[in-house]
A = this chain, B = another copy of it.
Amino acid sequence: MAKKTEDDGQASKRHFAEDVGLTFEAEGMPRMAGRILGWLLVSETPHVALQDVAEILHASKGSISTMSRLLMRMGLIERVSLPGERRDYIRLKPGSWSEWFATEAVKIGALRQLAEHGLELLESKSSVSRDRLVEMRDLFAFLEQEYPVLLERWKKKRR
């Protein structure tokens, strides 16, 4: 039983981290970044040392260093340094998912702009192609406007 407690379901948790890695990769991000995120999600400590992450995921210190900095740029994790401690720690950033969602709105805005740019290139007023771009622009403009509203509603509901 002592062994069981020490293990603490590591195997399945590592598997979970791998799952998140694959999901991340499917979204066009580095798999290792997803693995780190996945591990942080199920590690039952307030924060984790970079080095431990490398060991647990069987990865090099280098990739952990690089990918954790990527996750920081994305606003999903943050660094924690403890006084009188040599090691660096990372943890999930509280409220990071809302922040992630906010960046989705930005992406949507970029697509709206793209459609607008396309519209400028159409010289004929013919409805065929113009309609398509207008539909695209309108949808993304709509979403761009509604995403923040949605986010606000969720934040309110959360309390």
Show the binding face of A for B, using Cβ within 8 Å: 8-9, 12-13, 16, 19-20, 23, 26-29, 38, 41-46, 92, 94-95, 97-98, 101, 107, 110-111, 114-115, 117-118, 121-124, 126, 128-129, 132-133, 135-136, 138-140, 142-143, 146, 150, 154, 157-158
Contacts and interface: CB of A to CB of B under 8 A. Distances in A.
User: Secondary structure at chain A's binding surface: helix, strand, loop or mixed?
Assistant: helix
B128 A41 contact: no
User: How many identical subunits does the complex contain?
Assistant: 2
Nearest to A137: B97
A41 B133 contact: yes
B13 A121 contact: yes
B158 A138 contact: yes
A9 B123 contact: yes
B117 A142 contact: no
Contacts of A43: 129
Contacts of A38: 118
A58 to B, nearest CB: 19
B97 A136 contact: yes
A132 B28 contact: no
A117 B135 CA distance: 38
Contacts of A114: 19-20, 23
B110 A23 contact: yes
A97 B81 CA distance: 45
Contact of A42 (B27, B41, B129): B129
A157 B121 CA distance: 27
B44 A126 contact: yes
